[in-house]
Amino acid sequence: MKSKAAPAGMEDGEHEVAESEKARPQLANAPSLEEIQQRAYELHLEQGCVCRRDLDDWLLAERELEEKYQAG
């Protein structure tokens, strides 16, 4: 089975993320992907830019922001 070619400048993984972002509906009481991305990056910087913690940072950011939205 042949896969679709990623747009110029995008790696295969990035293409998959971009496609999944389109499919994810934005809920009024949930953080946006941009908010999660920003918080994950902040966590990455706060932890001294440790490599290979991107998934952990993303999940923690998502959890923090979801709690914030539910509380507020």
- Per-residue pLDDT tens for 24-37? 566 778 999 999 99
pLDDT of residue 62: 97
pLDDT reading at 18 higher than 80: no
Question: What confidence score (pLDDT) does residue 69 get?
Answer: 94
pLDDT of 2 higher than 50: no
Q: How many helices (H) and strands (E) does the chain have?
A: 3, 0
Distance CA(22)–CA(11), nearest Å, equals: 17
Q: Tell me, what's the pLDDT at 14? A: 45
Is the model's pLDDT at 3 over the cut of 50? no
